[in-house]
Chains A and B, each alone.
Chain A
Amino acid sequence: MDLGEAVLAALRLIAAADAAVIDAVRVSLQVALVATLLGTLVGAPLGFAVGTAAFRGRRAVEIVLTTLTALPTVVVGLLVYAALSRRGPFGGLGLLYTRSAMVVGQTLLIAPLMATLTMALASGADVRIRETALTLGATRLGAVWTLLGELRRGALAAVATGFGRLISELGVALMVGGNIEGATRTMTTAIALETGKGEFALAMALGLILLAVALLVNLGAAALAASR
């Protein structure tokens, strides 16, 4: 099957709402959305604190966080696998090869990225924002909210970047999810499997959907950022 035929077959599968395609898209979106949310909740406050506070060792913390963003997904997958496998410290939870395990792995993968992006955003913010909020009577927490509001374009871009990284990652999804059809099979694990089997049409269909999802996420983030 050449590339053109694969694209046509892929479009037919999408038009027919093929069950395998729908399942993989659903699992990918569920896991990536939850992990993006959790990773943002963990990483963004940390990044904000590091980006706005002055303390001894700040540079070292910045370097550690930045280094963690380069962690290969298979390394994160390996660590989470070791933690969740039967002999691991959290083996008793029985999470391995579940969507929860994938969420844990992807959250660990994305939290340093969210922290680093938030840190860059906060440390580069106009210092007058916080000072203006405070002199107009905002509490310290209120001034932080105002700052976040003023930086929302960058914050949304950071979240979209995080989601884009997770929706397209393979290592964690494959190693701790196990690529179980209908349960933990994502678009990326299905693409890897179907390509290995020579089923280019399904792989191509999922690849096209993956691109479309990435495009939609970025368009949505841009529209939100442009709103008042």
Chain B
Amino acid sequence: MSDAYALRDVRVVLGGRPVLDVPALRLAAGATTALVGANGAGKSTLLRLLAFLLPPAAGAVTFAGVPVTYGAAGLTALRRRVTYVASAPYLFRGTVRHNVGYGLRVRRRHDPAAVEAALAAVDLAALADRPARTLSSGEAQRVALARALALAPEVMLFDEPTANLDRDSVPRIEAALAALARRGCTVVLATHDCEQAARLASAAVTLGDGRLLTA
């Protein structure tokens, strides 16, 4: 299996403080990898690095076999192949449907069917015309997931995807993540729920205090 990502001697510094140190890490394409570790372990930082939202202070990142060059115009093209869903997602002003269609609009793609399919996949069709800001945190999490699903990217990165959900909603989201994996999408999810990691992931990476413990 080829690598979606290969990291070598990567160090991330925020506010002058080193927050992530990864000597070597490979994430297989088409696999689901769980990032596990306690709060502050560096899981979210690693996800944001993988989403090309954070440049490394040192080291090399290779994506789909091609070295990543930061600061280049090509970053937008790279980001369009990867979608990151934060643990506390930001919803734009406007309706749920407006939010779910955002990524398609910035790509100048008119695809209402993709929006409707993404809404249906997370059971949000009935709320499509509701102002997004009026939703509960669990519903907001589902909107963020639908927003990513509508884009069908090669890689999906999830930060605690079920942290804000009630117990009944968790299986639905986990089923959506499993369906992504079956479609061949590379999935990386940060979780501190080891049982969830075992249910969904075929590989696990353990982080602690900003360092890679096992991979």
Contacts and interface: CB of A to CB of B under 8 A. Distances in A.
Interface in A95-145: 126, 128-129, 131-140, 142
Give the one of A134, A142, A149, A228 with max B CB within 10 A. Answer: A134
Interface of A: 126, 128-129, 131-140, 142, 146, 149-150, 228
B106 A138 contact: yes
A-B residue pairs, 6 tightest by C-beta:
A128-B90, A136-B103, A135-B84, A137-B80, A138-B106, A132-B90
B93 A228 contact: yes
Contacts of B48: 131
Nearest to A135: B84
B102 A136 contact: yes
Interface string B69-103: 00000001001101110101110111000000011
Given A136-B148, A137-B83, A150-B93, 11 more contacts: A129-B92, A131-B86, A132-B90, A133-B106, A134-B53, A136-B103, A136-B106, A137-B80, A138-B76, A138-B106, A149-B93
A137 B84 CA distance: 10
B11 interface: no
Contacts of A135: 51, 53, 79, 82-84
5 contacts: A135-B79, A135-B82, A137-B76, A149-B92, A150-B93
B94 A228 contact: yes
Nearest to B80: A137
Contact of A136 (B88, B94, B151): B151
A125 B92 CA distance: 13
Contact of A137 (B89, B94, B107): B107
A146 B53 contact: no
Interface string B43-66: 000001001010000000000000
Contact of B106 (A131, A137, A149): A137
B195 to A, nearest CB: 28
A126 B106 CA distance: 20
B142 interface: no
A99 to B, nearest CB: 38
Contact of A132 (B76, B89, B93): B89
Contacts of A150: 92-93
B81 to A, nearest CB: 9
A228 B129 CA distance: 12
Nearest to A126: B90
Contacts of A129: 90, 92
Given A129-B90, A146-B92, A136 B76 contact: no
Contacts of A134: 53, 76, 79
A50 B167 CA distance: 44
Contacts of A140: 76
A136 B147 contact: yes
A52 to B, nearest CB: 15
Contacts of B90: 126, 128-129, 131-132
B51 A142 contact: no
Interface in B186-201: none
A123 to B, nearest CB: 15
A131 B53 contact: yes
Contacts of A149: 92-93
Contacts of B79: 134-135, 137
Contacts of A228: 93-94
Interface in B98-124: 102-103, 106-107
Given A128-B86, A149-B93, A137 B53 contact: no
A137 B93 contact: no
A141 to B, nearest CB: 10
Give the one of A134, A136, A228 with max B CB within 10 A. Answer: A136
